[in-house]
Amino acid sequence: MSPPKLDARADALQSLADGPGDREAKAQRAVDLIRTWGPYRWAGLYDVFRTEIAVIAWSGPEAPTYPRFPVAKGLNGACVASRKAVIVQDVARDPRYLRTIGGTRGEMIQPVVDQAGSVVGTIDVESDRVNAFTDRDAGLLAACAENLSWLWRADGQQRRARLS
């Protein structure tokens, strides 16, 4: 992806911080944008708590099968544990896979890391195709995580403190 296009997308995500609505409404607008930027049939933003991972907002044909699940489960859990992106080109071949929606073949999760180095959230995108993700997708989601970090500050920190 060309730098000007990536910059425009980063600006779009940053601009949501000062837009109308509460945290969930802003997260919904962000995930709707992210889903349109790649071959993503489904996209979700998640909070990471001490013992669980919980969806904030999602965009796609159906709600996630598990809106909350233990922090050590699934590909999201692997992402949190490693503090690195997890890209699985064929979920049928990965025993860590925890179903989000039926028909998923590929899944990619990008951690959102706070200033202290803790994973506070994840960005999850899914495809109905095997081998759907490229280096472009990895770069895009890394930029999205960086430009959406505001979503996990302030209001997000208060919310995590209440739920942890």
Q: Measure Cα distances from 28 to 4, 35, 103, 117, 164 in Å.
A: 24, 11, 23, 25, 23
Render pLDDT for 113-153 as a digit per residue (tens, 0 to 9).
998 999 999 999 999 999 999 999 999 999 999 999 999 98
Render pLDDT for 44-83 as a digit per residue (tens, 0 to 9).
999 999 999 999 999 999 999 999 999 999 999 999 999 9
User: Which domains, from first to last, does the chain contain?
Assistant: 3-163 (3.30.450.40)
pTM: 0.91
